[in-house]
Amino acid sequence: MSDLCGKVALVTGASRGIGREIALTLSSLGATVVINYSGSKERAQEVLDTIKANEKEAAIYQCNVSDPDAVQAMMQYVVDTYGKIDILVNNAGITKDNLLMKMSEDEFNQVMDVNLKGTFHTCKSVIRQMIRQRSGRIVNMASVVGIIGNAGQVNYSASKAGIIGLTKSLAREVASRNITVNAVAPGFIKTDMTSELPTKVVDEMLNAIPMKRQGMPQDIANAVSFLVSEEAGYITGQVLEVNGGMNM
Instruction: Report, as residue numbers or ranges, the catalytic residues.
Output: 156
Beta bridge partners of 33: 9, 58
**Angstrom distance (rounded) from CA 10 to CA 13:** 10
Q: How far is CA 221 from the centre of its chain?
A: 10
Helices 17-28 and 217-227, packing angle to 10 deg: 50
Please say whether the beta carbons of 181 and 236 come within 8 A.
yes
Given phi > 0 = left and psi -120 to 50 = alpha, else beta, which region is 83? left
**Angstrom distance (rounded) from CA 50 to CA 30:** 14
Single-letter residue type at 2: S
Please say whether the beta carbons of 190 and 244 come within 8 A.
no
Single-letter residue type at 139: V
Give the ranges where the chain is alpha helix by DSSP (H). 17-28, 41-53, 68-82, 105-111, 117-133, 145-148, 154-174, 192-195, 199-207, 217-227
